[in-house]
Amino acid sequence: MGLNTIVFGDITLGWVLVWLGVLALLSLIFKIYKALFGKRKVNLQHTVYFVCRHCGWEGTVSKFGTRCPKCDAPTGV
């Protein structure tokens, strides 16, 4: 059985092997992407959107940080 062996219709064994390689590569990229996205999602759970009443600064801050990064006003109340 060579790489030019017809598997089905015009599809050769070489063609099938190339596409299996491409699919393996795509699934690997997807796994890496999923791992990175998963980590980012965990980080987002620890941040909250915050608008400072004192200086108007807005952005995401850590849930555990209790002060505005710009003017140091308390974020809690």
Binding site for Zn ion (CB under 5 A): 52, 54-55, 57, 68, 70-71, 73
Minimum Å gap between C-beta 54 and Zn ion is 4
**At CA 1, angle to CA 24 and CA 17, rounded to 5?**
15
CA pair distance 3, 11, nearest whole angstrom: 10
Judge whether 70 and 55 are in contact, CB under 8 Å: yes
Minimum Å gap between C-beta 73 and Zn ion is 5
- Tell me whether residue 17 or residue 55 sits nearer to Zn ion (CB atom): 55
Minimum Å gap between C-beta 45 and Zn ion is 24
